[in-house]
Amino acid sequence: MLAVFVLMMDLVLPIGQMKAAASNKTIEITVDGKRLWPDVPPAIKDGRVMVPFRVIFEALGTKFYWDNKKKTITSTKNDTSFELSINSKHAYVNGSRMTMDVAPMIKDGRTLVPLRFVGEAYDSYVDWDGKNRKVTITADGSKPVDPPPVKTYSLYFNDKRVDTSTPPIIKNNRVHVAMESLLEQMDGEVLWHDHGSRMAIYVDDVELIIYSGEKYALINGQYIYTTENPIIHNGKYYIPLSFLKETFGGTSTYNSATKTVYIKINKAKFESDFLKVETVNIVRPQNIPAATLTGQRRLMVSDNPEMLDPRTVPYAEATLWQDTVDTDKQSMDHRVYGWHVNKLNKKINIGITIENLSSTNDLEIVNAKGIDRSTSNGWYHHDVGLPMAEAVLLNKLAPTGQSAVKANQTVTINQFAVEEEFLIGFLQDLTVKKAAGNGNLNYKIRVVVTQNGSELTSIKYDPLQVDSVNLHPRGVWESSQLQTVLPVYEAGTPEVAYSLSNGITDNLMSGETSLFGSGINVVRNPGHFGATYKVKIPIANLTGQPKTVRVRLGARGGRYSGAVKINNKVLLVPTLKPGTEAVNVIDYKVTGVQDELELEIMHGGGAALPLAVDLITLD
């Protein structure tokens, strides 16, 4: 039997297929349905497909040995063994000498062997499709059964019908959508490259890499794990709907009766430009000398427990955090900042409520405006933190309406439906005014959650205990804005950098300074989440010559993203790697003796703090 396949069944290409082989298209090889990705591409020699021996032997489950001195390969599996030698057409199968039409060879440092000989030596089925340059192998020797016909569906993306040459399909009882058909519909700067074994996708400042057949992806270099994997169909990447949600944060439904797939991806639409990331090592930053709280807008941060799961939220309804006010002032400005992840295995509702604790005074909610964003994946900086920071600095929070609050009444200021496994981030500004009565302003603002659909205004419990395992910020502070003045930088002197939100010299949002709650109920906010940070930079030029000073921002301690305003223009800071990447905010020409720049910065969330402000003279 072995002599028959060696002499008669080695891979021979008809003339028409030889022309196809002359093209530049890479030969595709699959074993038991899984595509192989050799580091050296297969080659055609004398009409035979040659492949690196290691990748095919590993796919067939053989034991093999390479003798570098003799330039021979020995391979065994079950009761069959054979030996091949470089540049020799003689093979020894179970000790018997046989002749091949083409000898193994070395190409680009890799040993290539005739594919059909290797495959059929172990009774595998080997098929060559010359037109499409595909080799199909089944290790047990059975001929592959043609898959059932693939059903195609219509596609709607963000409520708009998509006309595409790659419609959704049903495969393995799962709806799959062509990745390119989605990317073509997305807003923003979207680029992608299909590298065969992986697909790299770039959406604004985010890099997503997906892999055929693998249940994970990389988002800006960080792994996220998925329940299902992409497939390649007709040479295109298709992803199951669950993979879409886990990587892009989208939602999807499909109607089997109408053969229609509906997809929504709530990607941010930024108005501002992204700064260009540069690979640069800035000098080691020093802490800013000091900072102060400015402004009258009180800040309430609800970020603990961040993970809302059965351990941290053991009740059907609960108060996540609260702020109590009792003052003789006529009005009070507030900011409520929240950041929570729904791990409760069901859809939940989170809301911001206000309870009028006075029995004599009526209240009025005015100038209420806010923003909320959600996502279900590792794009939380891009999908949630950055849009919130941009909206604040642009002063483009959306109005959420006014409301009267009678004595002893509770009303809902805003509420958010949060899908299972989704992160919700929200920022709500409002002013509480006394509408009638002579007593103090006396009220309580709460962030509450319900798992059973109960009325949010009925939730008036004490806040949940702090999640001590994941110590995210929680507290109330007297202001939502910080300010610092850097030491004077003299143009022409060496580079210098300063750390913002370092938690030491600007430790203004600690447990001790929180206005409500103390001890284990409060967690400090060194990252100043929910707050803006004004940085004044005095620059002196004593050289007598015009000088250009570059102002850069760099990450310190972790990945960073945020937004910065300068000269009334808002710019977005893409995700920066700590210590190795920075963005150039401005090249400022100093013509006078002393000038001053002012930055206003808002962090985009996450643990990427502190932030470094770097100053260097260019000329």
Where does a domain end: 448, 478, 508? Answer: 478
DSSP element (H, E) containing 59? helix 53-60
Question: Is residue 143 one of the residues assigned to a domain?
Answer: no
My answer on whether 237 and 373 are in the same domain is no
What CATH number is given to the structural domain containing 211?
3.30.457.10
Where does a domain end: 138, 160, 188? Answer: 138
My answer on whether 65 and 37 are in the same domain is yes
- Average pLDDT on 431-453 reads 93
Q: Determine the pLDDT at residue 24.
A: 52
- Average pLDDT on 155-180 reads 85
DSSP secondary structure code for residue 133 in this structure: T
Question: Is residue 304 one of the residues assigned to a domain?
Answer: yes
* 1 — pLDDT class (breaks 50, 70, 90): very low
Question: Is residue 40 one of the residues assigned to a domain?
Answer: yes
Alpha helices in 335-456 (DSSP H): 380, 386-393
Q: Determine the pLDDT at residue 17.
A: 38
The tokens describing 230, both together, are: 């992409």
Does the structure show a pLDDT above 80 at 516? no
Question: Is residue 537 one of the residues assigned to a domain?
Answer: yes
Q: Determine the pLDDT at residue 303.
A: 95
Where does a domain end: 110, 138, 166? Answer: 138
My answer on whether 472 and 494 are in the same domain is no
* 292 — pLDDT class (breaks 50, 70, 90): very high
Q: Determine the pLDDT at residue 520.
A: 61
**SS3 of residue 72 by DSSP:** strand
Q: Are strands 198-203 and 190-194 parallel, antiparallel or unpaired?
A: antiparallel
Measure CA 524 to chain center.
Answer: 26
Residue with the larger pLDDT of the pair 264 and 599 = 599
Rounded Cα gap, residues 355 and 376, in angstroms: 32
**SS3 of residue 202 by DSSP:** strand
* 464 — pLDDT class (breaks 50, 70, 90): very high
- What b/e string do you get for 132-163 counting C-beta neighbours within 10 Å, with b at 16 or more? ebebbbbbeeeeeeeeeeeeebbbbbeeeebe
My answer on whether 321 and 455 are in the same domain is yes
Residue with the larger pLDDT of the pair 444 and 219 = 444
My answer on whether 513 and 407 are in the same domain is no
DSSP secondary structure code for residue 364 in this structure: E
My answer on whether 521 and 606 are in the same domain is yes
Rounded Cα gap, residues 323 and 337, in angstroms: 12
Per the structure, how many domains does the chain have?
A: 4
Question: Is residue 216 one of the residues assigned to a domain?
Answer: yes
Q: Which whole-number Å values give the CA distances from 192 to 127, 184, 207, 237, in the listed order?
A: 32, 10, 9, 12
Does the structure show a pLDDT above 70 at 185? yes
Residue 336 and residue 302 in contact, taking contact as beta carbons nearer than 8 Å: yes
Question: 365-392: per-residue pLDDT in tens?
Answer: 999 999 999 887 667 888 899 999 999 9
- Cis peptide upstream of residue 578 (ω within 30 degrees of 0): no
Arithmetic mean of pLDDT over the chain = 86
Does the structure show a pLDDT above 70 at 585? yes
The backbone region for 94, taken as left when phi is positive above 0, alpha when psi lies in -120 to 50, beta otherwise, is left
Does the structure show a pLDDT above 60 at 65? yes
Residue 152 and residue 90 in contact, taking contact as beta carbons nearer than 8 Å: no
My answer on whether 470 and 381 are in the same domain is yes
My answer on whether 320 and 198 are in the same domain is no
Does the structure show a pLDDT above 80 at 416? yes
Question: 397-412: per-residue pLDDT in tens?
Answer: 999 987 899 999 999 9
- Average pLDDT on 258-262 reads 87
Question: 219-235: per-residue pLDDT in tens?
Answer: 877 788 888 999 988 88
My answer on whether 548 and 490 are in the same domain is yes
Which residues constitute the domain of residue 419? 296-478
Question: Is residue 146 one of the residues assigned to a domain?
Answer: no
* Residues 6 or more apart whose Cβ sits within 8 Å of residue 148: none
Does the structure show a pLDDT above 50 at 5? no
Residue 316 has φ and ψ, to the nearest 5°, of: -70, -25
The tokens describing 492, both together, are: 């022409």
DSSP secondary structure code for residue 22 in this structure: T
Alpha helices in 170-271 (DSSP H): 179-183, 241-248
Question: 197-253: per-residue pLDDT in tens?
Answer: 889 988 766 788 999 889 988 887 778 888 899 998 888 899 998 888 788 877 788
Q: Determine the pLDDT at residue 3.
A: 33
My answer on whether 472 and 486 are in the same domain is no
Q: Which whole-number Å values give the CA distances from 81 to 31, 44, 77, in the listed order?
A: 20, 25, 6
Rounded Cα gap, residues 209 and 222, in angstroms: 10
Q: Which whole-number Å values give the CA distances from 442 to 9, 337, 438, 470, 484, in the listed order?
A: 90, 21, 11, 32, 33
Q: Determine the pLDDT at residue 77.
A: 84
Rounded Cα gap, residues 533 and 483, in angstroms: 6
Degrees to nearest 5, angle at CA 328 with 326 and 330:
105
Q: Determine the pLDDT at residue 619.
A: 80
- Average pLDDT on 517-533 reads 85
Question: 589-613: per-residue pLDDT in tens?
Answer: 998 788 999 999 999 865 546 899 9
My answer on whether 366 and 279 are in the same domain is no
Question: Is residue 156 one of the residues assigned to a domain?
Answer: yes
My answer on whether 279 and 321 are in the same domain is no
Q: Determine the pLDDT at residue 182.
A: 85
Question: Is residue 10 one of the residues assigned to a domain?
Answer: yes
Q: Determine the pLDDT at residue 315.
A: 95
Q: Determine the pLDDT at residue 541.
A: 92
Q: Provide the whole-model pTM.
A: 0.70
* 148 — pLDDT class (breaks 50, 70, 90): low
One-letter-per-residue 3-state SS of 272-316: CEECCEEECCCCCCEECCCCEEECCEEEEEECCCCEECCCCCCCC
Is the C-alpha dihedral spanning 147, 152, 158, 162 positive or negative?
positive
Q: Determine the pLDDT at residue 149.
A: 56
Q: Which of 123, 96, 130 is nearest to 11 (CA)?
A: 130
